[in-house]
């Protein structure tokens, strides 16, 4: 088994793009942002996708040339979103986590190729060889061999009872789908491990380190990584889902917002103003990346973060829209070429919150968008339009043109990739003899009850109570119909037998649902009777 793969042809190509990119301003194409054109894209996206709120900012040559917010923190309540409103930036947190680690590398406390167990002796992967060999760098580039989103059910849906220690311990029980370092598959759980590595070498919790190393020195006073008092902080956008033609607040923050286990993978909240501070720091480190006259991060570390470490599949849409010839993952960043220019970017997705940050370092330009609504297509469309506005010959197309491409892709998906019609489902009877009711346990997800109820047979997770629903039958198969209809997919249920012991495996009913619903990684075993 090899520990690394070499991609020499790709490396030669990337050298053209990943060399120092910031020439003198006169050497770069001049970029003039037409505020009216951005307003049109903003308005059309907002109206087409019925977003409850939207925040957009554009930076060129170190200046914020466009900044706009619209909508409400809570739909229908009249409190407007402002540039200081906090949004969940979700996986845009990953670049902050890798920057934190880079600061520790700069101080000599850590090396990218350190074995993880040097800093976390208790850490285990399913394969003992991988446990010994996995390095800090491997935590950051989605090459573990695990399936996409493996273990994410310990993180979402929120709230749940899993701790950070549960997540780290659970990795020992997640079986890989592929060889270690052989291919890309996005994960969140290993970023939580990366946050714990930072805490171990930095001598403080992940949340304390983020405040000390990022937010305070860079002046990002409207960012939060841990728990906080919602009303003291104030101006906090709430997530929404679309139902019955309306935007409805769901999973609303309580008065005290608790720290979450997945902080290092996607738990940071920031305002538009502070995300623009973050953007300027990356684009102009010599002007906006100094703290007390010294570089906040060394050039060597910046280069490492923006080096392509893991190739990613390059889809036809990216080839068509960006003219891309490469695509891959750095340390917390995605990298591709867009019409001959390097694009450094990431997105963030949490229930009812979507974000994106895109940097075009060769053009000294970048932009941020955040919404507090169900806005996956809205994000895809608006981010591409803003990118095209900056780099595409001829500029951006209308929002409708991008939206039509997405709809054609959806309409053209093969039937096997579409969610089945479950309207003909019937409730499984509480006394159905084919259902081995009882108490079940999965080694990483914990206990679940499958027990008779006045309504039928109810599946109920102990650690993630939101995952509770009624067992249904459809076309000879069974699935759990979750009581909380905001969960993105129901789950097929298959019963297995190992000798005389019953087991349960599960899978997404909607094959295109978010991979974080990793029901496929569950392997329940019956451990007792209902009580």
Q: Which of 197, 185, 202, 270 is nearest to 236 (CA)?
A: 270
pLDDT at residue 11 in the model = 43
pLDDT in tens, 94-138: 999 999 999 999 999 999 999 999 999 999 999 999 999 999 999
pLDDT at residue 285 in the model = 97
Burial of 108 (0-12, 13-18, 19+ CB in 10 A): exposed
Q: What gap in Å lies between CA 519 and CA 494, rounded to an integer?
A: 11
Tokens 């659970």 correspond to 170
Give 55's contacts (C-beta < 8 A, 6+ positions apart): 68, 69, 81, 83, 85, 87, 272, 368, 369, 370, 371
pLDDT at residue 27 in the model = 65
pLDDT in tens, 250-269: 999 999 999 999 999 999 99
State how far the alpha carbon of 424 is from the alpha carbons of 393, 476, 490, 509, in Å: 50, 12, 14, 14
Tokens 């829209």 correspond to 321
Burial of 261 (0-12, 13-18, 19+ CB in 10 A): buried
Q: Quick check: 351 pLDDT over 90?
A: no
Q: What gap in Å lies between CA 330 and CA 303, rounded to an integer?
A: 10
Q: What percent of the chain has pLDDT over 90?
A: 91
SS (H, E, C) 120-177: CCCCCCCCHHHHHHCEHHHHHCCCCCCCCCCCHHHCCCCCCCCCHHHHHHHHHHCCCC
Confidence band for 491, pLDDT divided at 50, 70 and 90:
very high
pLDDT in tens, 360-411: 999 999 999 999 999 999 999 999 999 999 999 999 999 999 999 999 998 8
Give 40's contacts (C-beta < 8 A, 6+ positions apart): none
pLDDT at residue 30 in the model = 77
Are 363 and 28 contacting, i.e. CB atoms less than 8 angstroms apart?
Answer: yes
pLDDT at residue 10 in the model = 46
**360 forms bridges with which residues in the sheet?**
365
Q: What gap in Å lies between CA 268 and CA 177, rounded to an integer?
A: 30
Please list, residue by residue across 194-203, b when 16 or more beta carbons sit within 10 angstroms of its beta carbon and e when fewer do: bbbbbbbbbe
Confidence band for 480, pLDDT divided at 50, 70 and 90:
very high
Q: What percent of the chain has pLDDT over 70?
A: 95
94: left (phi over 0), alpha (psi -120 to 50) or beta: alpha
Q: Which of 164, 176, 333, 150 is nearest to 260 (CA)?
A: 164
pLDDT in tens, 160-194: 999 999 999 999 999 999 999 999 999 999 999 99
**Other beta carbons within 10 Å of 38:** 22
Q: What gap in Å lies between CA 359 and CA 68, rounded to an integer?
A: 18
SS3 282: helix
Query: In degrees rounded to 5, what are phi and psi of residue 280?
Result: -65, -35
Q: What gap in Å lies between CA 296 and CA 217, rounded to an integer?
A: 8
State how far the alpha carbon of 32 is from the alpha carbons of 37, 58, 60, in Å: 11, 11, 8
Q: What gap in Å lies between CA 451 and CA 462, rounded to an integer?
A: 13
State how far the alpha carbon of 130 is from the alpha carbons of 4, 113, 369, in Å: 12, 14, 38
Mean pLDDT of 428-455: 98
Mean pLDDT, the chain, whole residue set: 94
Mean pLDDT of 36-56: 98
Are 226 and 269 contacting, i.e. CB atoms less than 8 angstroms apart?
Answer: no
Query: In degrees rounded to 5, what are phi and psi of residue 318?
Result: -65, -35
Give 203's contacts (C-beta < 8 A, 6+ positions apart): none
Question: Poorest-confidence range of 19-23, 98-102, 304-308, 524-528?
Answer: 19-23
């Amino acid at each position: 088994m090899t520990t690394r793969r070499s991609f020499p042809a790709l490396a030669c190509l990337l050298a053209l793009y990943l060399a120092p990119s910031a020439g003198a301003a006169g050497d770069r194409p001049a970029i003039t942002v037409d505020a009216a054109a951005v307003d049109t894209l903003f308005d059309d996206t907002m109206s087409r996708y019925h977003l409850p709120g939207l925040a957009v900012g554009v930076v060129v040559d170190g200046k914020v040339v466009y900044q706009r917010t619209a909508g409400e923190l809570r739909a229908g309540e009249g409190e407007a979103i402002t540039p200081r409103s906090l949004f969940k930036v979700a996986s845009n947190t990953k670049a902050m986590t890798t920057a934190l680690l880079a600061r520790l590398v700069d101080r000599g406390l850590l090396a990218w190729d350190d074995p993880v167990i040097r800093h976390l002796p208790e850490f285990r992967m399913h394969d003992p060889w991988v446990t010994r060999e996995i390095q800090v760098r491997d935590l950051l580039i989605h090459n573990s061999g695990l399936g996409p989103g493996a273990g994410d059910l310990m993180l979402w849906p929120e709230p749940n009872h899993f701790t950070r220690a549960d997540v780290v311990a659970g990795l020992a029980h997640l079986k890989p789908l592929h060889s270690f370092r052989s291919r890309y598959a996005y994960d969140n759980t290993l970023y939580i491990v990366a946050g714990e590595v930072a805490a171990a070498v930095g001598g403080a919790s992940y949340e304390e380190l983020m405040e000390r190393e990022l937010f305070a020195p860079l002046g990002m006073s409207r960012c939060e990584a841990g728990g906080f008092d919602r009303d003291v902080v104030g101006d906090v956008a709430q997530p929404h889902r679309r139902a019955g033609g309306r935007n409805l607040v769901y999973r609303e923050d309580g008065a005290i917002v608790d720290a979450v286990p997945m902080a290092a993978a996607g738990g940071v909240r920031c305002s538009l103003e502070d995300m623009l501070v973050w953007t300027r720091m990356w684009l102009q480190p010599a002007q906006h990346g100094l703290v007390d006259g010294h570089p906040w991060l060394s050039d060597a570390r910046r280069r490492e973060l923006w080096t392509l470490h893991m190739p990613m599949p390059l889809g036809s849409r990216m080839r068509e829209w960006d003219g891309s010839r490469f695509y891959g993952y750095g340390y917390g960043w995605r990298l591709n070429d867009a019409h001959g220019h390097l694009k450094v970017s990431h997105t963030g997705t949490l229930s009812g919150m979507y974000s994106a940050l895109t940097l075009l370092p060769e053009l000294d330009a970048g932009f941020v968008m955040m919404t507090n609504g169900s806005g996956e297509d809205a994000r895809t469309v608006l981010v591409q339009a803003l990118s095209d506005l900056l780099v595409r010959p001829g500029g951006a197309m209308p929002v409708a043109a991008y939206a039509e491409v997405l709809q054609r892709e959806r309409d053209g998906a093969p039937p096997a990739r579409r969610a089945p019609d479950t309207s003909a489902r019937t409730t499984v009877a509480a006394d159905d003899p084919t259902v081995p009711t009882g108490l079940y346990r999965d080694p990483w997800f914990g206990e679940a009850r499958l027990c008779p109820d006045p309504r039928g047979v109810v599946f109920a997770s102990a650690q993630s109570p939101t995952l509770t629903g009624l067992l249904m039958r459809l076309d000879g198969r069974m699935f759990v119909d979750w009581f909380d209809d905001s969960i993105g997919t129901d789950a097929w249920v298959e019963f297995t037998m190992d000798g005389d012991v019953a087991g349960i495996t599960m899978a997404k009913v909607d094959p295109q649902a978010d991979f974080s619903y990793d029901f496929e990684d569950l392997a329940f075993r019956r451990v007792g009777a209902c009580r």
